[in-house]
Amino acid sequence: MTAMIRIIRGGGEQSEFTVETGEFTTLLDALEEIRSEQDGGLLYRHSCHHGSCGTCGVIANGKRVLSCVTRVSKLEQPVEVRPLTPYPVIGDLAIDPAPLYSEFPDDASILRPSEAQPDATPPAEIPGFTRFENCIECGLCESVCPVLRAGGAAPGRPFKGPAALAAYGREIEKHPERTDELLPEIDSPDGVWGCDRALECSRVCPLEVYPAKQIAVLQQKIRARKAPV
């Protein structure tokens, strides 16, 4: 099989490439093929190739996806690929994720207790089974958030964004002792009160982090603390 990939680079320039594909070929595989065979200078971000690192987000045919777990055969052709907005573009499809990380709570843990095999007894050598948090910090939720996008290319309102706020939610859930420290940081117009409840973030998240739900829970916690006793 062959597929037509149309790359719309950050600068606006368009290029079309034809690549050989198979049943399991992903959009990232196709980009790798283009770089190795047709455009050696093509810039895009990638690392793990299995949806764990969160680096390879792009907009494909208008949808925010992780290119490493998106099969080309499931996409309408030509596949139109753009860099993830609203991030600064380093070049071509590669973005700078610095804005995503700027609002995360300091030292929020990326580990959590594992819920897999709940009846299992951990070996005596460890206190309990752990796993990495769901959020892979891919930025798809921020990319689709209408508050941050303002519906177009223009910058939106100041807003910490769904990824960072979800991280606040998870950190407070795991470490209630940090509540007094962390809740005031997000009790602001650019914090949890900046959310317009569009819910797009929860829909697009490939790892079921449900940022909109996390934000709603944080709003409830703030209201409960302020309610007269």
Partner 1 sequence: MGSDRRRAGDAGRAADIRVVIIGGGGTGAAILHDLTLRGFACTMVERGELTSGTTGRHHGQLHSGARYAVGDEEIARECMDEVRILGRIAPESIEMNYGLFLALSENDVTYGDTFQEACSAAGIPNRRLSIEEALRHEPAINPQAHFAVLVPDGTLDAYRLPLQFFATAVANGADVRSFTEVLSVESSGVAATGVTVIDYRTRRKERVPADVVINAAGPWGGQVAGRAGIDLPITPAPGTMVAVKGRLCNMVVSHLHPPGDGDIVVPQRRLSVVGTTQWETDDPDRIRTPEGDIRSLIRRGGELVPTLADAEFHAAWTAARPLAGRSSAGGRALSRDLEVYAHAADGLDNFYSVIGGKATVLRAMGQAVSDILCSDLDLNLPCTTATTPLLSHRHYFRRAS
Residue ranges binding partner 1 (CB under 8 A)? 22-24, 26, 29, 32, 35-37, 41, 43-55, 68-69, 90-91, 94, 96-102, 104, 107, 109-111, 114, 116-117, 119-123, 125-126, 129-134, 136-137, 207
Cα Dmax for the chain = 68
Q: Which is nearer to partner 1, 116 or 154 (CB)?
A: 116
Place of tokens 């052709």: 77
Q: Which is nearer to partner 1, 129 or 198 (CB)?
A: 129
State the amino acid at position 115 in one-letter form: E
Q: Which is nearer to partner 1, 139 or 219 (CB)?
A: 139
Token pair recorded at residue 130: 């752990």
Residue 152 CB, nearest approach to partner 1 (Å) = 23
- Inter-axis angle of helices 179-186 and 211-226, nearest 10: 110
What is the rounded CA–CA span in Å between residue 99 and residue 54? 15
Place of tokens 């690549």: 19
Q: Which is nearer to partner 1, 137 or 200 (CB)?
A: 137
Residues 6+ apart with CB under 8 A from 107: none
Q: Which is nearer to partner 1, 70 or 219 (CB)?
A: 70
Token pair recorded at residue 159: 């807003």
Helices assigned H by DSSP within 38-115: 98-101
